[in-house]
Chains A and B, each alone.
Chain A
Amino acid sequence: MRLRKNLTRILIYALLTALAVIWLIPIFFLIVHSFRAEPGAAIRYLFPKTYTWNNYVRLFTDTELFNFPRWYLNTLVVSVASCFLSTLYVLMISYAFSRLRFRGRNAMMRAGLILNMFPGFMAMIAVYFILKAVGLTQSLLALVLVYSGSAALTYYVAKGFFDTIPLALDEAATIDGASKSTIFWRITLPLSKPIVVYTVLMSFMAPWMDFIFASVIMKDNYENYTVALGLFQMITRENIYDYFTVFCAGAVVVAIPIALLFLFMQKYYVEGVTGGAVKG
C-alpha cells in the first residue's frame, strides 16, 4: 500500500516535471535568444554562439526606427487608464445585475450575454468612424475608450462573485438606513477584493496583447503606437533579420511587469475567477 502510494507520487512528480519543462522551453528560448549576438531569425543551432546585452541596449537607445520606450510608455498609460475605466464599468454593471432588481434586468443581462459573442474586430471600421466623428482617432484616449468599452460586457465573472456575497449583509445595512449607493461603496466593494483584482488584472493586460484594434485606430501615427504594434514592425520582411533578437528582448521586457503582477496577484485571481465564473 505504502509502496503503491510512493509509486504514484513519483509518477506524478515525473509527469509534473516533464510538463513544467515543456511549458518553460519556449520561454527559456525566448530569453536565451534575446541575448544572442548574431543576427537572423532562422538559425540552425539551438544556443547562441556569443551572448550580449546589446539587444536590450538597442531596444532603449536605437529609437530612430523603433521608438520602443515611447511605445512602452504609451501602452502603460493606456493600460492604467483603461484598466481603471473597465474595472469601474465591470463592477458597476455586474453589481447592478447581481444585487439590484429593476425592470428589464433579465432582458438586459441576456442581451449583454449575446452581444459579448460579437466578434470584436468586425466592429472596427464602425468604431473607427464613430471615434472620428468625435475627433478622437489616432489618440491614446480612443484606445482607452475602445478597450474599456469592450470590457463592459465581460461582467459575468464579477456578477457571479457578487452573487456569492450574502444578501443578509445588504438587508442589515438597509435597516440601518444605508442607501444602495452606500452599500455598494462601503460594504460590497471592500468584500470584493479578489474580483476587483481579477478585473484589474484582465483589463490591465488587454492593451499589451491587442494589435488589431490598435493598428486600425492608430494607422500612420507612429508616435502613438503600443508595444504590440511596434514589436510587429520589427519582424516584417525587411527587418526580421536585423531585429529578431531585439524583438525577443522587447518581448521579455513586456512580459516582466505582467509576469510580476500575475505572480503576486495569483491568489486573488484564483479566488476571483472561482468565486465568479463557476458559482451562482
Chain B
Amino acid sequence: MKRLVSLLLIGAALLPAMTGCRKGNTDTDNPNNTDTPTVTLKVWGAQDDQAMLREMCDAFAQANPDKKYNFTYGVVGEGEAKNIFLDDPDAAADVFHFANDQIADLVSAGALAQIGGTYRTAVEEENLTGAVDAAMVDGKLYAFPATADNGYFLYYNKAVFDHAPNTLAEILSLCTDGRRFAMKVSDSWYLASFFLSAGCSFSEDKKIDFNSENGVAAARAINALCRDPRFVNFGAEYDPSIIAGFGDGSVIAAVSGTWNAEKIASEIGAENLGATKLPMIEIDGQEVQMIGFAGYKLVGVNAGSRSPEDAVKLAAWLTNEENQLKRLRERSMAPANKNAAADPAVMENPALAALSEQMPHAVSQNNVPASYWTAAEGFGTDLAAGNVPDDALQGKLDVLTETVNNPIG
C-alpha cells in the first residue's frame, strides 16, 4: 500500500517533467503567431493601479475589434520591475511599467524591444523632451513615457511659513523650539541633490566626479547640515516619520515626493499643505539652487514577447494623451505628454505643481550607474551620523568615486 503511494508520487513527479519539456519545445518553435485572431498579452502594473490598468486595457480591446485580446495582469510595481523581469524574462509581462532609472540595465540585458518608425516619431512629438530622453539609451528609444512624477521637492507647513521658503537658511531660521527640517541624506536618491547642486554630474559614460573640489564642497555642506540640531535625517522609516512629524509639528519642512502628499495633507489639513521647488543652499559661500532628479515612469515592451506587434500597440495606447490624463485624474500622476501636462489639473495639485516647478532644476537618472545606489547610501549614512571630520571627506569621496566608477563586474 505505502509502496503504491510512493510509486504514484514518483509517477506524479515525473509525468509533468516529460510533458513540460515537450510544451517548452513547441512553444519556441513558432514564437510569433500574430495571424491568429486571439492574442494573449500579459501586463504588469503597480498594485494600486490595477483597476485603472484594466479599464485602459479593456478600452484598448474595444478600440481594436479586429483581434480578440486576452489580457492577464501581474502585480509588479515600477520599482521592482527590473529585478522580477530579469529573474525570468520568459515569464515576464509583454508590456510593463518601470521606473526610468532601470532602463540602462534592462536594455543591456536585452530585455526591452526597441521602438522605431511611426511609434518613435509620435513619442518624440507628443512628450516632454526630458521624458523622451529618459526613455532613450544611446540615441535609441526603448520605452513609452507614461508619467513624469518620480522626483522630489519640498513640502512645508503653511501654518508656519507665510510664503513658500526659497532658501535653506530661511527654513532653518524658522526651526525653533524643536521644529525641524527633514531630508534623508542617508538615501542616495536624495543625497545626489547636494552634489548636483555643487556642479558635479553623472556623465554619459556612467561615471561620477564626486571627489572633485566641488564634490568636497557639497560634502562639507551635507556635513554642516547633519550637525545642525534643526535638521533631521530619520535614518530608518523616513516616510512614516515625516508624516508623523508634520502631524505633531516637530517637522515643518521636508524633502519628499508626490506619494506623501495626501498623507501629509490628512495630518495637517489640505489648506496647510505647502509644496514648492527645492530651496537654495549655500555651498562654499555661494547660494545655489538645489537640483533634484527628474524621474519618469515608462512603459516597455518585452523583447521576447510572442506578439510583439500587439504589445507595442498596447504600450503606445497605455501612454497616449487620453490615458495619461486618466492617470492624472484618477491617481494624481503628472503626465509626460505635452498636452496632458498643460492640463489645469496639474497646477491645481500642489505636489504636482511643485514637481513641475522643480523640473527646470532636475536631471535625468539615466546616467546614474547601478553601482551608485548602495555605495552612496553608505557614504550618506556615514555623514548622517554627524561624526565625520571635514578633512576626512576627500578620502571618503575618493573611495566612493572609485567604487561607483569601477565596480566589480
Contacts and interface: CB of A to CB of B under 8 A. Distances in A.
Nearest to A41: B240
Contact of B243 (A42, A135, A233): A42
A40 interface: yes
Contacts of A42: 237, 240-241, 243-244
A133 B240 contact: no
B244 A43 contact: yes
A242 B92 CA distance: 29
B135 interface: no
B77 to A, nearest CB: 8
A137 B16 CA distance: 12
Given A64-B51, A221-B74, A238-B48, A132 B88 contact: yes
Contacts of A133: 17, 20-21, 24
Contacts of A40: 240, 243-244, 247, 263, 267
Interface residues on A, range: 20 to 34
Nearest to B260: A241
Contacts of B244: 40-44
A218 to B, nearest CB: 10
Contacts of B248: 44
B261 to A, nearest CB: 11
A181 B260 CA distance: 64
Contacts of A129: 88
A138 B47 contact: no
Q: Report whether over half of chain B's contact residues are helix, strand or loop; otherwise say mixed.
A: helix
A239 to B, nearest CB: 8
B301 interface: no
Interface in B248-270: 248, 250, 259-260, 263, 266-267
A128 B93 contact: no
Nearest to B256: A237
A137 B46 CA distance: 21
Interface in A124-141: 125, 128-129, 132-138
Interface string A75-105: 0000000000000000000000000000000
A124 B60 CA distance: 37
Contact of A241 (B17, B24, B48, B240): B240
Contacts of A240: 239-240
A67 B178 CA distance: 42
Contacts of B91: 132, 137-138, 219
A251 interface: no
Contacts of B260: 241
B87 A128 contact: yes
Interface string B1-36: 010000000000000110111011000000000000
Q: Report whether over half of chain A's contact residues are helix, strand or loop; otherwise say mixed.
A: loop
A216 B87 contact: yes
Contact of A134 (B16, B48, B74): B16
Contacts of A181: 2
The interface centre, meaning the residue of A42, A64, A136, A220 with most chain B CB atoms within 10 A of its CB, is A220
Contacts of A278: none
Contacts of B231: none
A241 B243 CA distance: 8
B75 interface: yes
Interface residues of B, number: 37
Given A181-B2, A240-B239, A135 B74 contact: no
Nearest to B14: A134
Contacts of A268: none
A22 interface: no
B44 interface: yes
B90 to A, nearest CB: 8
B74 A219 contact: yes
A244 interface: yes
A46 B52 CA distance: 38
Given A41-B237, A181-B2, A219 B88 contact: yes
B87 A135 contact: no
Nearest to A184: B2
Contact of A219 (B23, B51, B84, B240): B84
A265 to B, nearest CB: 26
A44 B244 CA distance: 7
A262 interface: no
Given A40-B244, A138-B91, A238-B259, A65 B48 contact: yes
Interface string A106-150: 000000000000000000010011001111111000000000000
Nearest to B259: A238
Contacts of A239: 48
Interface of A: 39-44, 64-65, 125, 128-129, 132-138, 181, 185, 216, 219-222, 233, 236-242, 244
Interface of B: 2, 16-17, 19-21, 23-24, 44, 46-48, 51, 74-77, 84, 87-88, 91-93, 237, 239-241, 243-244, 247-248, 250, 259-260, 263, 266-267
29 contacts: A40-B263, A41-B240, A42-B241, A44-B250, A65-B48, A128-B88, A132-B91, A134-B20, A137-B88, A137-B91, A138-B91, A185-B2, A219-B76, A219-B87, A219-B91, A220-B75, A220-B76, A220-B84, A220-B92, A220-B93, A221-B74, A222-B47, A237-B239, A237-B259, A238-B48, A238-B259, A239-B48, A240-B239, A241-B240
